[in-house]
Amino acid sequence: MTGYGNATFENDQIGIQVEIKTLNSKFLDINSKVPKEISAMETDLRKIISDRLIRGKVNFSVEFTIKSGTDQALRINPELFQHYKNQFEQVTGNMQLADADILNSILKTGDVFEHPASKRDLVDRATMVSLINEALDKCDAFRAQEGASVDTALRSFAHNITQSLEAIKVKDPERIQHVKNRINESLKELNAADMSDPNRFEQELIYYIEKLDIAEEVVRLENHMRFFNTTLAETESQGKKLGFISQEMGREINTIGSKANNADIQKLVVEMKDELEKIKEQVLNII
């Protein structure tokens, strides 16, 4: 389900921005982008996200900013600098290198520079966990708001399928009567030509009627629709179950279409298929 949540933290030394974005997906897929300063916490943070979101494509990012100021500027470690100076003087011996040359060589090592505090020490796990949970709370609120719209849409699509099914039930007797009239006309022609075999004709008639009968499919589809609406009303996560039910609905709709042999009913079947595709698309939004 699509959603968005963010959280920020700021003090005199650092600023942290956390963002969580979710998109529709059948499974949970977390894509994280975190700075090296908190890379050691990444596994724990991903676990918190997976426990809360369960399903969807998740983009999780953290921006980490060190504030400017002399307290965060690079400094020279005097003890290490003196150590390097002594080493250079011992190695060069009587070469009598200028102090400027020794200074330049020491500074090129880079080791003598240090931060007054490690960046990793500027943020603790408790702060990051609090930020992640705050962003997840906002993301859940966003998804809940969208979920209300999805619920309304799904009920509307299911209602449209039910209405089309009721229309099919009204038209089905007309279809059966039309089939009977056509068979009777054919029977009269065969009798007139003295070409009919009563036993064989009865067998063919039973087979033909059973092949066109959609009563069982109509009853099963009605049951699926009731089960769908009941499941939709449940408070627990039912996204996958609704997906399975919609597959069963599709089987019955397809069978009705293949058996109907009636233009009006075929149109209603097409309309039901259209509504069912909308249901399948929206079911991906449900956890």
Q: In terms of domains, do 188 and 88 share one? A: no
Q: E strands along 183-231, which residues?
A: none
pTM metric for this prediction? 0.61
What distance in Å separates the CA atoms of residue 284 and residue 140, rounded to the nearest whole number? 16
Residue 48 in domain = no
Residue 61 in domain = no
Q: In terms of domains, do 277 and 149 share one? A: yes
Residue 270 in domain = yes
Q: In terms of domains, do 100 and 154 share one? A: no
Quick check: 256 pLDDT over 80?
yes
Residue 8 in domain = no
Residue 49 in domain = no
- Are the CB atoms for 16 and 127 separated by under 8 Å? yes
Burial class of residue 46 (count of CB atoms within 10 Å of its CB; 0-12, 13-18, 19+): middle
Match 């990444």 to its residue by tokens: 42
Average pLDDT over residues 259-274: 92
Residue 3: Cβ within 10 Å count: 23
Q: In terms of domains, do 173 and 251 share one? A: yes
What distance in Å separates the CA atoms of residue 139 and residue 106, rounded to the nearest whole number? 51
**In the prediction, which pLDDT does 120 show?**
56
Average pLDDT over residues 214-237: 90
Task: Out of 92, 114, 136, pick the residue that ends a domain.
Answer: 114
What distance in Å separates the CA atoms of residue 86 and residue 182, rounded to the nearest whole number? 112
Quick check: 21 pLDDT over 90?
yes
The domain of 180 spans 144-283
Q: Looking at 212-226, 229-243, 268-282, which range is the least confident one?
A: 229-243
Give 160's pLDDT tier (boundaries 50, 70, 90).
very high
Q: In terms of domains, do 267 and 154 share one? A: yes
Mean pLDDT over the full length of the chain: 83
> What would the pLDDT profile of 82-135 be if each residue is shown by its tens digit?
887 888 777 777 676 677 777 777 777 767 766 555 555 677 889 999 999 999
Q: In terms of domains, do 158 and 267 share one? A: yes
- Are the CB atoms for 67 and 123 separated by under 8 Å? no
Task: Out of 93, 114, 135, pick the residue that ends a domain.
Answer: 114
Q: In terms of domains, do 198 and 84 share one? A: no
Q: Please, which contacts does 228-233 make with residues 24 or more away whose CB atoms are closer than 8 Å?
A: 228/158, 229/155, 229/158, 232/151, 232/154, 232/155, 232/158
Quick check: 19 pLDDT over 90?
yes
Q: In terms of domains, do 153 and 261 share one? A: yes
Q: In terms of domains, do 217 and 100 share one? A: no
> What would the pLDDT profile of 43-95 be if each residue is shown by its tens digit?
999 999 999 887 788 999 999 887 765 455 566 777 888 887 888 777 777 67
Q: Looking at 5-19, 88-102, 233-247, 268-282, which range is the least confident one?
A: 88-102
Q: Looking at 107-116, 154-163, 227-236, 278-287, which range is the least confident one?
A: 107-116
What percentage of the chain carries pLDDT values higher than 70?
Answer: 82
Residue 108 in domain = yes
Residue 251 in domain = yes
Q: Are strands 75-76 and 113-114 parallel, antiparallel or unpaired?
A: antiparallel
What distance in Å separates the CA atoms of residue 219 and residue 197, rounded to the nearest whole number? 35
**In the prediction, which pLDDT does 70 show?**
45
Report which secondary-structure segment, H or E, holds 239. helix 239-260
- Are the CB atoms for 231 and 174 separated by under 8 Å? no
Which DSSP state fits 120?
A: G
What distance in Å separates the CA atoms of residue 45 and residue 127, rounded to the nearest whole number? 11
Residue 15 in domain = no
**In the prediction, which pLDDT does 124 show?**
83
Q: In terms of domains, do 82 and 148 share one? A: no
Which is more confidently placed, 189 or 147? 147
* Contact residues for 213 (Cβ-Cβ < 8 A; gap 6+): 259
Structural domain tally of the chain?
2
Q: In terms of domains, do 209 and 87 share one? A: no
Task: Out of 94, 114, 134, pick the residue that ends a domain.
Answer: 114
Q: In terms of domains, do 84 and 160 share one? A: no
Quick check: 269 pLDDT over 70?
yes
**In the prediction, which pLDDT does 173 show?**
86
Q: E strands along the chain, which residues?
A: 3-10, 14-23, 28-33, 56-66, 75-76, 113-114
